[in-house]
Amino acid sequence: MCFPRFVLRLPDWVEVLLSDSERVYPTIEERMQLAVDLARRNVQHGTGGPFGAGVFDMETGKLLAPGVNLVVPLRCSTAHAEIVALTIAQQRAGSFDLGSSGLPPYELVSSTEPCAMCLGAVPWSGVRRLVCGARDEDARRVGFDEGAKPGDWVASLEGRGIAVLRDVCRTAAVAVLEQYRSAGGVIYNARPEGAGGDPEQGA
């Protein structure tokens, strides 16, 4: 038996876009603008869904790793923008814990509030802050399934010492989702709510 490997690799256009490795993003709005821009360009380039993210050094504003949704091209349902950004960030940092001693504090900036899976990934990643653009309900309104999250997820993260900042550039973030829907972008939801038995509401 020889099981296949899985290789997570960013699209070439991301490398070109972010070729200036010295660039800093001093404000939280600039960091979110990059995440939203990644989401928009990901659709334009046909490399995945309308979601972008980045892991930034909270103090210097340097980008450690970007992320875009790569579910379809990589044939991998977990390749959401946040998971991609965290995975590449941990490879760059050389640690499965971005919060380990010797590392600067990092934050995860996401163009849309994380789905249930990505939300669950946040505490394991070691980031100190989660910064969100569009809200859960914005994604659901467009048709994306966000999954079943604990109702008190913000308090839960904060109880673990992870700050949560919401609605950063929300309008711009929502616009990318709505453009995607207007252009007839595919919304894949493998197992939607109400597929069997009694429907269950997330969030």
C-alpha span between 69 and 18 (Å, rounded): 17
Binding mask 137-166 for a second copy (x = CB under 8 A): --------x-xxxxxxx-xx-xxxxx----
Q: Please report, as residue ranges, which positions from 61 to 90 form the binding site for a second copy (by CB under 8 A).
A: 65-66, 71-72, 74-79, 83, 86-88, 90
What does the block give as tokens for 114?
A: 């994380």
Residue 178 known to be catalytic: no
Length of the chain: 203
CB of 149 to a second copy, least distance (A): 7
Q: Please report, as residue ranges, which positions from 164 to 193 form the binding site for a second copy (by CB under 8 A).
A: 188, 190-193
Residue 203 in the binding site for a second copy (CB under 8 A):
yes
Binding mask 5-24 for a second copy (x = CB under 8 A): xxxxxx---xx--xxxx---
Residue 118, by phi and psi: left (phi above 0), alpha (psi -120 to 50) or beta? alpha
Pairing of strands 106-112, 63-68: unpaired
- Give the active site residue among 29, 59, 82, 193: 82
Residue 133, by phi and psi: left (phi above 0), alpha (psi -120 to 50) or beta? alpha
Kindly list the catalytic residues: 82
